Amino acid sequence: GNGGGGRNDPFVGDFFEVHGNAVPDSDVTLGGTNDLEVVSHIYKDWKSTLRVRRKLNTGDKWDAVLTKGPTDIVYAWCVEPFCKDETDAHAPGDWGMINVDLSGDSLNADL
């Protein structure tokens, strides 16, 4: 999403790449569910911090079952005015991979 730096709140979407290195389809389009929820977001000093919630096992066949502990997550972003919602494509290179600790041991002070 826009990370909260624009006029609108950030948004997230639950997607699956059916065809490999191509534009992903939303889980909802594929018959699944959108299992992501933005818990909080902060935009400060040109940085966006998003807290997102999802069950480890959603029961959605398009979602990987996650385990507690370090997990790689792919993310992408797009900046207004080019992106209004999840259907707008991000620019080449406007994505990354981050290793997130899903153990539940992090504190707000860590953010």
pLDDT value of position 23: 75
pLDDT value of position 51: 86
pLDDT-derived band at 63 (thresholds 50, 70, 90) equals: very high
pLDDT value of position 7: 56
Q: Does a structural domain hold residue 8?
A: no
Q: Does a structural domain hold residue 9?
A: no
- The answer on pLDDT for 2 being more than 60 is no
Q: Does a structural domain hold residue 1?
A: no
Q: Does a structural domain hold residue 44?
A: yes
Enclosing domain of residue 19: 15-110
pLDDT value of position 30: 92
32, 61 Cβ separation under 8 angstroms: yes
Q: Does a structural domain hold residue 4?
A: no
Q: Does a structural domain hold residue 42?
A: yes
Q: How far apart are CA 54 and CA 38, in angstroms?
A: 9
Give pTM, 2 decimals: 0.70
What pLDDT, in 10s, does the model give residues 64-90?
Answer: 999 999 999 888 777 666 676 666 666
- The answer on pLDDT for 25 being more than 70 is yes
Q: Which residue has the higher pLDDT, 16 or 58?
A: 58
Q: Does a structural domain hold residue 3?
A: no
pLDDT value of position 1: 47
The DSSP 8-state label assigned to residue 97 in this structure reads E
Query: How many structural domains are present in the chain?
Result: 1
Ramachandran angles phi, psi of 27, nearest 5°: -55, -35
Q: Does a structural domain hold residue 5?
A: no
